[in-house]
């Protein structure tokens, strides 16, 4: 994972082929909010100005992934459309709302909370306080349905992954892996240090939209107790 930088370097878009049916449009070389915002702006512009032949798009940290059908739309036509979008300027910044995520820390919901505390020479209470004090930008959704890649973890909480990944991590689990914190949106295997669990449903294919979070949102964790967890 590349270091998160505060100041982005402006860059001419780079088009990188991913085979003959997809292209990655790179807008920067670092993980930073400004580059990520430009990626999301391009994504929204293309949603508003669809081009026949684009099959799917995926905004990531610093690039927009576009899958297309070369029979319907040539690469050259796609690039021309993208250049038009760039020429139109950045447009309105696309900012998501701030969402509060209730989390029951420790106990059965956060079996690794004590490890994260001792690894960093903190008390369990301090870990909870620090983790729930920051505002975390959602840079992208990926890995599994609805899984948010969050920035903004306080360096005092950096903790390596577990030596032995768990076979089953319940949906809603909040974890730390190296310099990142995240939420397991679906039950899956995983090696993150699990410090708590949220009662919210982060992904439901029957809902519209199916994912609770999307790129551009900011989230804050709010500590709750077990009673509150079961009431949510």
Site residues, another protein (CB under 8 A): 1-2, 16-22, 24, 29-31, 43, 55-63, 65, 67, 70-71, 75, 140-147, 149, 185-186, 188, 203, 205-206, 209-211, 214-215
How far is residue 205's CA from residue 221's CA, in Å, rounded to a whole number?
A: 24
How far is residue 125's CA from residue 140's CA, in Å, rounded to a whole number?
A: 29
For residue 14, the SS3 value is strand
Min CB(231)–another protein separation in Å = 26
Nearer to another protein, 41 or 120 (CB): 41
How far is residue 102's CA from residue 145's CA, in Å, rounded to a whole number?
A: 20
Nearer to another protein, 117 or 140 (CB): 140
Min CB(194)–another protein separation in Å = 19
Least Cα distance to 149 among 27, 59, 42 occurs for 59
How far is residue 202's CA from residue 184's CA, in Å, rounded to a whole number?
A: 8
Nearer to another protein, 58 or 132 (CB): 58
Min CB(206)–another protein separation in Å = 7
Min CB(184)–another protein separation in Å = 12
Nearer to another protein, 64 or 103 (CB): 64
Nearer to another protein, 61 or 109 (CB): 61
b/e 110-128 (16+ beta carbons within 10 angstroms → b): bbbbebbbebbebebeebb
Min CB(102)–another protein separation in Å = 22
């Amino acid at each position: 994972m590349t270091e998160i930088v505060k100041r982005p370097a402006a860059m001419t878009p780079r088009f990188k082929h991913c085979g003959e049916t997809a292209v990655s449009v790179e807008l920067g070389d670092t993980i930073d909010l400004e580059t990520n915002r430009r990626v999301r702006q391009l994504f929204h512009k293309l949603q508003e100005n669809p081009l026949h032949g684009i099959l799917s798009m995926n905004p990531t940290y610093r690039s927009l992934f576009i899958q297309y059908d070369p029979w319907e739309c040539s690469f050259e036509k796609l690039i021309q459309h993208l250049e038009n979008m760039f020429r139109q300027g950045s447009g309105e910044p696309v900012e998501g709302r701030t969402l509060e995520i209730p989390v029951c820390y420790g106990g059965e919901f956060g079996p690794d909370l004590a490890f994260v505390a001792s690894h960093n020479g903190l008390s369990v209470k301090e870990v909870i306080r620090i983790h729930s004090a920051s505002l975390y930008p959602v840079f992208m959704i990926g890995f599994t349905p609805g899984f948010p890649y969050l920035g903004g973890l306080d360096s005092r909480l950096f903790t390596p992954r577990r030596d032995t990944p768990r076979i089953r991590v319940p949906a809603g689990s909040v974890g730390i892996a190296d310099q990142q914190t995240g939420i397991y949106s679906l039950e899956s295997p995983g090696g993150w240090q699990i410090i708590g669990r949220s009662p919210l449903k982060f992904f439901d294919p029957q809902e519209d939209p199916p994912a609770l979070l999307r790129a551009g949102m900011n989230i804050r964790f709010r500590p709750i107790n077990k009673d509150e967890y079961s009431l949510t």
